[in-house]
Amino acid sequence: MPIIEVSGVRKAYGGRTVVDGISFTVEEGEIFGILGPNGAGKTTTVECVEGLRHPDAGSVKVAGLDPVRDRDGVTRVLGAQLQESELQPKITVQEALQLYAACYPDPADWRALAARLGLTEKLSTRFAKLSGGQKQRLFIALALIGNPRVVVLDELTTGLDPRARRETWALIEEVRDSGVTVLLVTHFMEEAQRLCDRIAVIDKGRVAALDTPAGLVSRAAGAVVTTFTPSAPLPAADLAALPQLASHEERDGNVTLTGTDETVTALLALLARTGTTAHRLRIVEATLDDAFLDLTGEAA
């Protein structure tokens, strides 16, 4: 049985629908990503999973429990890092860990958790003195302090520099490897492509697509982009006849084709058959950005 089941969830504020019939399941032990533009309904969806908001319609189950009716049970199996998280500026890392541990009947060993997340040397440091990356490490620790089966991480790396972001990615992978299911909300394409086993793309309150990162990329209109300068002009009809060709552009002697692997194979055969040399040949696979743009009509 999936550890998270979201079925037909709807939520409106002041007559404006924010989440419009969203459904998906999350399997135990995976990193499941929720990806979408700002205002798409991502955070409202996970707040329904966390029990922080009540759906107007539809249902949510976490480990078989309803986050609204079985709030106490859900708090024992789910940990969360909210989109905007802050602590009292003068609280130390150790005090925060001890405070949160006191909220659970069987908490994790906060000392071991601090060591695992590289916080041991910062135990006496006040929250206000932590760097952005150190604060995120602390929030992950606080989300894990209750020994949850599921952890929700909402926009965890927003505002971090590239080094801190990659360090946080490694921590998320360690959390998953320890047996905890991760529900990751993000708008960073690289982050989703690097971490997630599956991704639900949410747009305008609905699930626009749900697949693996590779599966989403394969849906892009041009999954492979090929650019080159031919040593001699190629017949336009031959280029237009290439299989799976999505677009064809020639400018200043340069040729740009979008298509699939089959398009590239046929192009190479055409070059060989006509004795044409492809100068400055580049073959680039589409990214999750391209798939996102095709699915939502918005730039990532």
Give residue for tokens 């360690």.
Answer: 174
pLDDT of residue 79: 92
Mean pLDDT across 256-268: 90
Give 112-170 pLDDT, tens digit per residue. 989 988 899 999 999 999 988 889 889 989 999 999 999 999 888 777 788 878 888 88
CA dihedral 86, 90, 92, 98 (to 10 degrees): -70
pLDDT of residue 300: 43
Q: What percentage of the chain exceeds 70 in pLDDT?
A: 98
Are 98 and 119 in contact, with CB atoms under 8 Å apart? no
- Quote the CA–CA distance of 294 and 33 in Å, as a whole number: 18
Helix (H) or strand (E) holding 165: helix 162-177
- Quote the CA–CA distance of 126 and 256 in Å, as a whole number: 55
Q: What is the pTM of this model?
A: 0.78
For residue 299, pLDDT over 60 is answered with: no
For residue 260, pLDDT over 90 is answered with: no
Residue ranges of domains in the chain, CATH in brackets: 1-215 (3.40.50.300), 219-294 (3.30.70)
Q: Is 81 helix (H, G, I), strand (E, B) or coil?
A: strand
Mean pLDDT across 33-40: 88
Q: How many CA atoms lie within 13 A of 297 on its CB side?
A: 4
How far, in whole angstroms, is CA 51 from its chain's centroid? 21
Q: Is 241 helix (H, G, I), strand (E, B) or coil?
A: coil
Cα–Cα distance list, 192 to 183, 185, 187, 216 (Å): 11, 9, 8, 11
Mean pLDDT across 249-261: 89
- Output the CA angle 79-183-151, nearest 5 degrees: 15
